[in-house]
Amino acid sequence: MRHYRYTTMLHPYGEKGGEVGIDDAMLYGYWEHADGSEGGGLWFYQLPDGRLELDDFDGDFALPRPVVNALSAHGIVMGEEFF
């Protein structure tokens, strides 16, 4: 069983609820909907310069725009397919 330590916490919906957690060491994270309900998982690659790149996600057909914006604002690299 894997144990994750979410070292990065983002709040894409502000005070409304929902969050994004990232375990930088395990290259894994999760995201929640604005109401705090389960969203899904996030998988990352670590680039040679140390930044994280979003590789894949699950939970919904598309990541909600606030989640994409929060990841991007935090410096996570994302391909066009996530926008």
pLDDT digits (tens, 9 = 90+) for 68-82: 999 999 999 999 988
- Annotate 38-66 with three-state secondary structure: EEEEEEEEECCCCCEEEEEECCCCCCCHH
Distance from C-alpha of 74 to C-alpha of 53, rounded to nearest angstrom: 11
pLDDT digits (tens, 9 = 90+) for 17-44: 999 999 999 999 999 999 999 999 999 9
First and final C-alpha spacing in the chain: 32
Six-digit token pair at 71?
């990841």
Block residue for tokens 């935090």: 74
